[in-house]
Chain A
Amino acid sequence: AENQLSNPEATPSTSITESQNESKENNDSVSKDVGFKFPEFYTCPSQPMEPIRYQAVQSKEKGPIKVYSDQAIREGDTAHLTGNVVVSQDGQQLTANSLTADNLSQSYKAEGDLLFTNQNFVVGADYLTYQAVEGSTEISNTRFHLYSNNGNGSAETITIDNNQLLTLSNSEFSTCPTNQRSWAFESDEIVIDRESGWGKAYNSVVKVADVPVFWLPYITFPIDDRRKSGILPPSFSNSDRNGRDVSVPYYFNLAPNYDLTLTPRYMTSRGSMLGTEFRYLTEASNGELFFEALPNDKDPDALGDKRWQYDVKHLTDLGDDWTTGVNARKVSDDGYYQDFGGSLENSNQDILSQNLYIQHRSKDWFFRTEYKDWQLLNSPVERYTIAPRMQMTRFFEPDENGFHANIHTELTRFDKDNAVTANRYHLEPNIGWSHETLYSFFRPQLKYSVTHYQQEDLTGNVEHLTRTLPTASLDTGLYFERFIEGDDERYTHTLEPRLFYLYTPYEAQNEIGVYDTSLPTFNFTQLFSSNRFSGIDRIGDANQISGALTSRILDSQGREKVSMSLGRIVYLADRQVQLVDTIGRETEKQSGLLAEVNWRWTDSIEFKSVIEWDDQTNNTTHGLVNMHYEPEPNHIINLGHRYRERLDRKQEEAELAFAWPIKDNWRLLGRYNQDLIENRTNDSFLGLEYESCCWAVRLVARRYLNIQLDSEGFILPGQEDEHNSGVFLQFVLKGIGSLRGSTTEFLEDSIYGYEDLLGK
């Protein structure tokens, strides 16, 4: 045995050579235990699986290549390192049985159950060669696993050229677990360029359940979420109205702050159509311009051959609280949405507006000048164009002794072809006083409206009318409460009586035209409003008292859990002002009785019920029950029943909409909306979704009401079936596709609260 003459304590080593030194951080100790193994991913995990990310040694980005080994032999320029070899370089980590390095050619070769890993993926292989000069690495018969989406597979060779270009030769890739290869993507060569963010695959085959389904000679795909130009998922559908319908949107990422999407669409029974959507965002403005055109529609009974639609949203901030904007939507003909709409919501879209405005809003002032026009689809009616309306309001915030006021002025020009047109000048100062304590509030208010009309009839003579009307109102209420000791919480139970007295003298207004005024639906809101009409053209004469009693249950944080309200109006005088002369004075002594319950005991349930009961005729004129139950995201049940007696007909509908996971990967969603008067289903669909950890499929069968109407709003003759039905099948390979599209919109519109996350 060697006679070990050991030097008891190692004296600190002084710096050896005077050449430039750089201190090395102390924390580059490599984890000695080479315990890292290739992540096991045999079956779909119940929750999303986050493979243990082997924290590569935080070696400096451009530092030296560090190799740890049990033994090392150096012979001239070559070094043979063996025994648990661990190489760390530029944040990447390599473990192998042995490594041979050549200092002259500055390259090394590693062999023996090799694991190469960096922040994004781990690769198992037989051997690896590295060339320092070109910074290129070649790994042979490899298997790999991506941390981000559990994408995994194998490749005969992986070459990395100076850390940018990754080339996999005859590889197999999938996000499915190794023992459940539902789908796989095999290609001769995949080139991934991290700098440009693009991947290219040559001669690839998509295999579903090991059956080749697609052959793709060449495709490109994004590898990070930078916005890139390219094809978006196309959509195919088939309907009796449009025939086979294919649209392939193409996205142009023109600049970080604006982009363009072109959607060519071909329909066998109509021809080809192009949609363009341009989005932009600048320092002061942002907006979306959408324009879609079908130059000539081959369908004989289309309402016109040139079909187009535009939808413009634009906003510009001019600074100092001034903004200007456009919100305009218009279609070429009344049948547009019925032909191209697609869902019940669209196909019955019937009132489009075009609005251009400039506005200033600050603490004390509100100015707005706007132009507004409407397009009513399938309706004989034409609405007044507001060309322009100029509003100015001066606010006086509450001062110390409780007074607040504002002066509202408005000039509007109502324009319509071959109809009475009018200029309306309106001045409305109002002053209020408010005395509020903990247990009461007392708010008298005085308003004075001065309105001047210049109405010009068809023959051209102008009629001048002026109306001045004061309105006085008093809103007062008390606040009672008591406490209820709940199981672990103290609840507050309140009782809040409220009285609202309204007085407006009578002034005949039947000479005044109706330009933007309507008789609102009777509900709790109208109980306490200072004009029974909504709009300026009619100020209802009133001498009435509205009473309401509200009782709430609040939790310990004051959040409302339940609220119950009861209310009605007692009329002290008949009401003479009406929208049109044909309706005589109203003589009822009191309004219908309104009752409303809102139930929000937990965050997952929202229940509302409203009843309007007319005690003279002893029947319910309006009833509503609506429940939204969502204990967890996307576990939804919506239940609703509505009844209302309209002037001309009764209206009663019931609805059930739900989205609920069934077994672990299955989810059922659906909607059933029944018109109980017409005894007809307005919209019904049933959807089944299956989502495993690497693919998802959705099947939706739908039947929705889609009655064809002519431009006057009458039913087009010869429609055997008022409904339109369709079946949608969608399939996504998670990790290399996405599912956004019209079906997503339709599902989120139909099921309140539902968010389409399939395939995310």
Chain B
Amino acid sequence: ATLEKSRLRSDRSNLDVQNNIIIYRDNVIYEHGNMTIYADSLTKQGENAGTITALGSPVKIHYVDETGETTDIDAPKIIYRQQSGELSASGDIKIVQSSGIDKLTLLGNQLTANQGVTEGFGFVLNGAPTEFRIEQPSQPAIYATADQLRSNGKDKQTELVGNVKLQQGDSNMTAAFLTYDGTSKVISAGKSDSGEQRVETEFFWEQEQGDNATSSQSATEQQTEKEQQQ
């Protein structure tokens, strides 16, 4: 994809004499290609003013790909290099992606992304840990945590890597890595390369106890195991 021109609007702007840069403030809107950034303040710097730094409470990025699927990112601060299309952010980051009727929500604290190289919006999100949630109308919500979430933006696949713990309805799954396919809605996991950590699936099915209903667990009450860190 070739890089089009970018447009920038804001209520006010002033010159930072010291650093000889212009600071745009209040309702700043920056558009570049399929991406729009809304921020409280924004500066342009670097070689032919190609490095955009935006601050906001939070900064909001809105991205729409060819198929009309949207990706919205909130972050307190972002840095965007127009030339390479590279974007990075840190702090409380929230990404919301719509894929058909499903809605994906990702939380993390450190993001690097690129909207130019492929048609979609590829990114790598790290967190302590990152959180991953899917709301699907017909299915119970899927909720997962992992050390890192990745997506190459092209084939709508999100990869969860490192200490992945997933929970859906009354069953859990832990694995070394796991992929969620947005189109087929299929989650697949595998054992770690060393083979040391295998996929562990737990089903909290309630057994018909008949008269000796001793187990405190009832189907409705949600039960999660607090993972003992190996």
Contact = CB atoms under 8 A, between A and B. Distances in A.
Chains A and B directly touch (beta carbon < 8 Å): yes
Contacts of A525: none
22 contacts: A2-B150, A13-B129, A13-B145, A16-B131, A19-B223, A24-B225, A62-B214, A64-B172, A65-B202, A65-B203, A66-B202, A67-B200, A71-B188, A72-B173, A72-B190, A72-B201, A74-B186, A101-B203, A106-B203, A106-B205, A132-B205, A133-B205
Nearest to B186: A75
Contact of B145 (A16, A64, A70, A73): A16
A103 interface: yes
A458 interface: no
Given A71-B188, A72-B190, A79-B201, 6 more contacts: A2-B150, A5-B124, A13-B129, A19-B224, A64-B172, A65-B205
B162 A6 contact: yes
B225 A22 contact: yes
A24 B225 CA distance: 7
Contacts of A66: 200-202
B201 A81 contact: yes
A203 B33 CA distance: 81
Interface of A: 2, 4-7, 10-17, 19-24, 26, 32, 62, 64-77, 79, 81, 83-84, 101, 103, 106, 108, 132-135, 162
Contacts of B48: none
A72 B226 contact: no
- Of A7, A22, A77, A133, which is in contact with the most chain B CB atoms at under 10 Å from its CB? A7
Contact of A68 (B185, B190, B199): B199
Interface in B193-230: 195, 198-208, 210, 214-215, 217, 221-229
B170 interface: yes
A24 B174 CA distance: 14
Contacts of B170: 103
A69 B203 contact: no
B175 interface: yes
A67 B227 contact: no
A76 B199 CA distance: 18
A26 B208 contact: no
A162 B210 contact: yes
B53 interface: no
Given A5-B112, A71-B190, A133-B208, A103 B169 contact: yes
B161 interface: yes
A14 B150 CA distance: 21
B190 to A, nearest CB: 5
B189 A71 contact: yes
Given A24-B225, A74-B168, A162-B210, A69 B161 contact: no
Contact of A7 (B147, B200, B208, B210): B147
Contact of B203 (A24, A103, A134): A103
Contact of A10 (B163, B185, B190): B163
Contacts of A23: 226, 228
Contacts of A11: 128-129, 147
B187 interface: yes
Contacts of B126: 5, 7
A646 to B, nearest CB: 73
Contacts of A70: 190-191, 195, 198-199
